[in-house]
């Protein structure tokens, strides 16, 4: 009997703001919400952006203009003046060679061919260069790509805790994982009273690693920039470092850990590991997430070289603008419409999963459940970046599982899709065909399709995390976000059985039983998740544990929800800080108490059981050795 992975907490930060308490989701649909809900989200964003007021028209216009996808702001880099090096060849104009003076400490050792040291006077040396020499001259260029999904202006994760040269992705990890943890409404110490140290899982990472100047980006570029490589850049650059930071500085966890990388599907790869651990009993609680901070000139240059990003030139062509006109950067991502590329974004998203019994025991809030995550490769390819057939398999399996759980009618009438929806010409054709064929085969008509990258951009490894936490908001408020950046579907989009939403669509949340989260990654990394609504999850809990247990859970949950609401109120007032426990409770071997049967760790009420049974009891290895 599989344990059910229940979503009991979630949090993070994206271009829509803070994810917990559904504020990130509500930024997307804020004009379709009741005033009280909208006001709370305006206040949440104002506190993040360090604005003194959230109610005035000016403040709200400021928030609108400086959240979601927009022109790249100077806090990241000046896209009009990106530093680069112009390669040049110099040679003397006369027979006497080229004479230059340089700082003695700056002289290369050994001197390049054709260089001759003529004299040294104090800190300065004179050099003669015979023949031609190659030099790199610092200059500047303008970026072809000027739109990105950025965290709200004024929100700087590094200012909230002692960041100590942490790459931005790790700063976002600390803040995002803390938001998820505090959204639980349950003290972590209470969890440790009921869970063994080896029954906690943390799966988090980055699809690309930490590539800014504090991570791998600085490590590979420093010498070419005339700088030193620091001792932190190499370790901070590892892709699994978000999990490491959560273990070391947020939770102090000793359990299962790591990351699974699958390009743009990486979040779902990690979610799959957490779900599998819960289902099998390897873990009772799992923290799953991804953090991506790819808004750097180098990463943008890489994707632009592939022709993958929406450029200013491409946006002008779509809208019929002249060469000197400023394109609408807020509409740079147009999923399933006439489009010209995706829009890069930053985000960190985390969810907390518990097995069904632990969730009931602790009175944890139930935001839904992850029934399973399906992963398939594409098989043989020509271009490694081109789509294949793997995503047909993952969507078919995810839909089939939804049918098995909520029934034929539930899948056909009460499900919706969170599409990958990148905004590229290739994606609009390939993914729309996958979704349309899935709907046709399973008898679904007018299948609602959302594509949140229209608001948030594409946060690479964290993208499916954006899709998941926004789906939880749909079940809270009943508004399916429409794709507002375009009012039509392109002629080559397959939509005979789809309802690709171009406007917000308000539904009864209890009439939406299941969401299918889809992700397609470069290289053939495909993943689709079947996520169950909270009302469906509660029905399943009652069926397994009985109505009396569920009633007792509901009573315990009242206090949990109150604590979570208090956290939300403090966060909206700007009165919270991330959980960051540097040099806190560090354990050594002599702190452990253990024998051949049990191992006790300080801080945990339950011991690790060492009386293990062989999982291969039908294959004894201690019998006849002849």
Q: How far apart are CA 487 and CA 336, in angstroms?
A: 10
HSE at residue 64, side-chain half, CA atoms within 13 A, is: 11
Considering the four listed CATH numbers 3.40.47.10, 3.30.379.10, 2.30.40.10, 3.30.300.30, the one that applies to the domain covering 8-75+145-545 is 3.40.47.10
Nearest to 350 by CA among 452, 436, 240, 246: 246
Mean pLDDT of 67-89: 96
pLDDT by residue (tens digit) across 114-138?
A: 899 999 998 999 999 988 888 889 9
pLDDT grade for 623, boundaries at 50, 70 and 90: low
pLDDT by residue (tens digit) across 414-425?
A: 999 999 999 999
SS (H, E, C) 520-539: EECCCEEEEEEEECHHHHHH
Beta bridge mates, 532: 369, 514
- Domain positions in the chain are 8-75+145-545, 82-141
Lowest pLDDT segment from 120-124, 409-413, 469-473, 619-623: 619-623
- Give the whole-number percent of the chain exceeding pLDDT 70: 99
What's the confidence (pLDDT) of residue 466? 99
pLDDT by residue (tens digit) across 174-202?
A: 999 999 999 999 999 999 999 999 999 99
pLDDT by residue (tens digit) across 314-340?
A: 999 999 999 999 999 999 999 999 999
Residue 588 has pLDDT above 60, yes or no: yes
What's the confidence (pLDDT) of residue 93? 82
pLDDT by residue (tens digit) across 232-271?
A: 999 999 999 999 999 999 999 999 999 999 999 999 999 9
| Pairing relationship of beta strands 200-205 and 256-258 according to DSSP bridges | parallel
SS3 486: coil
Sign of CA dihedral 251, 21, 561, 546: negative
What's the confidence (pLDDT) of residue 447? 99
As a whole number, the mean pLDDT across the chain is 97
Dihedrals phi, psi of 428, to nearest 5 degrees: -60, -30
Q: How far apart are CA 13 and CA 592, in angstroms?
A: 37
What's the confidence (pLDDT) of residue 97? 87
What's the confidence (pLDDT) of residue 92? 82
What's the confidence (pLDDT) of residue 626? 53
pLDDT by residue (tens digit) across 64-76?
A: 999 999 999 999 9
C-alpha pair distances (Å), 398 with each of 374, 388, 394: 7, 18, 6
Mean pLDDT of 434-454: 99
Mark residue 304 as left, alpha or beta (left: phi above 0; alpha: psi -120 to 50; beta: remaining). alpha
What's the confidence (pLDDT) of residue 624? 63
- Give the whole-number percent of the chain exceeding pLDDT 90: 92
Q: How far apart are CA 46 and CA 48, in angstroms?
A: 5
SS3 626: coil
What's the confidence (pLDDT) of residue 471? 98
Q: How far apart are CA 374 and CA 116, in angstroms?
A: 65
Residue with tokens 């490491």: 244
Strands (E), 206-337: 256-258, 285-292
- What six digits make up the tokens of 89? 């060849």
Mean pLDDT of 429-447: 99
Q: How far apart are CA 591 and CA 581, in angstroms?
A: 19
Mean pLDDT of 82-111: 89
Catalytic residues, which ones?
Answer: 264, 420, 458
Mean pLDDT of 580-608: 96
In order, the DSSP letters of 110-162 are SPPTTEEEEEEETTEEEEEE-S-EEEEEEEEE--S--EEE-PPTT--GGGGTT
pLDDT by residue (tens digit) across 257-315?
A: 999 999 999 999 999 999 999 999 999 999 999 999 999 999 999 999 999 999 999 99
């Amino acid at each position: 009997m599989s344990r059910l992975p229940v979503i009991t907490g979630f949090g993070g930060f994206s271009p829509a703001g803070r994810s917990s308490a559904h504020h990130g989701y509500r930024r997307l649909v804020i004009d379709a919400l009741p005033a009280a809900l909208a006001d709370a989200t305006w206040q949440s964003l104002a506190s993040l952006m360090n604005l003194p007021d959230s109610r005035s028209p000016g403040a709200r216009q400021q928030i609108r203009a400086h959240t979601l996808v927009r022109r790249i702001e100077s806090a990241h880099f000046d896209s009009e003046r990106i530093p680069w090096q112009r390669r040049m060849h110099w040679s003397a104009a006369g027979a006497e060679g080229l004479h230059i003076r340089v700082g003695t400490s700056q002289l290369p050792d050994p001197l390049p061919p054709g260089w001759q040291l003529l004299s040294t006077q104090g800190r300065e040396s004179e050099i003669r260069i015979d023949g031609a020499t190659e030099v790199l001259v610092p200059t500047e260029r303008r970026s072809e790509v000027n739109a990105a999904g950025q965290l709200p202006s004024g929100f700087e994760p590094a200012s909230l805790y002692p960041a100590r040269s942490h790459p931005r992705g790790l700063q976002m990890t600390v803040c995002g994982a803390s938001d998820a943890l505090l959204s639980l409404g349950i003290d972590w110490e209470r969890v440790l009273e009921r869970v063994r140290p080896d029954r906690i899982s943390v799966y988090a990472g980055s699809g690309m690693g930490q590539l800014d100047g504090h991570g791998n980006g600085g490590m590979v570029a420093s010498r070419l920039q005339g700088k030193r490589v620091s001792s932190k850049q190499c370790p901070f650059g590892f892709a699994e470092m978000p999990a490491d930071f959560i273990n070391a500085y947020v939770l102090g966890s000793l359990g299962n850990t790591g990351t699974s990388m699958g390009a743009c599907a990486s979040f779902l790869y990690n979610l799959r590991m957490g779900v599998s651990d819960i289902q099998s009993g390897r873990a009772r609680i799992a923290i799953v997430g991804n953090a991506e901070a790819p808004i750097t000139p180098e990463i943008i240059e890489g994707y632009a070289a592939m022709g993958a990003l929406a450029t200013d030139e491409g946006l002008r062509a779509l809208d019929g603008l002249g060469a000197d006109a400023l394109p609408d950067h807020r509409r740079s991502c147009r999923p399933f419409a006439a489009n010209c590329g995706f829009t890069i974004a930053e985000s960190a998203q985390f969810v907390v999963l518990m097995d069904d019994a632990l969730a009931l025991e602790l009175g944890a809030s139930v935001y839904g459940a992850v029934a399973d995550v399906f992963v398939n490769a594409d098989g043989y390819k020509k271009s490694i970046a081109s789509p294949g057939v793997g995503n047909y398999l993952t969507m078919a399996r995810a839909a089939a599982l939804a049918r098995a759980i909520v029934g034929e009618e539930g899948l056909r009438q009460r499900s919706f899709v969170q599409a990958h929806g990148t905004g590229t010409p290739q994606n609009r054709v390939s993914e729309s065909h996958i979704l349309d064929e899935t709907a046709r085969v399973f008898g679904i008509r007018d299948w609602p399709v959302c594509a949140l990258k229209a608001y948030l951009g594409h946060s690479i490894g964290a993208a499916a995390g954006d899709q998941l936490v926004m789906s939880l908001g749909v079940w809270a408020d009943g508004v399916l976000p429409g794709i507002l950046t375009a009012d039509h579907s392109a002629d080559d989009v397959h939509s005979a059985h789809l309802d690709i939403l171009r406007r917000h669509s308000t539904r009864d949340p209890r009439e939406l039983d299941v969401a299918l989260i889809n992700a397609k990654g470069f290289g053939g990394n495909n993943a689709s998740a079947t996520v169950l609504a909270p009302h469906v999850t509660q029905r399943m809990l009652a069926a397994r544990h009985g109505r009396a247990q569920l009633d007792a859970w509901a009573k315990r949950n009242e206090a949990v929800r109150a604590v979570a609401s208090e956290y939300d109120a403090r966060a909206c007032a700007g009165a919270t800080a991330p959980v960051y426990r540097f040099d806190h409770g560090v354990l050594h071997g002599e702190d452990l108490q253990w024998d051949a049967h049990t191992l006790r760790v300080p801080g945990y009420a339950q011991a690790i059981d060492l009386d293990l049974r062989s999982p291969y009891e039908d294959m004894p290895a201690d019998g006849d050795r002849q």
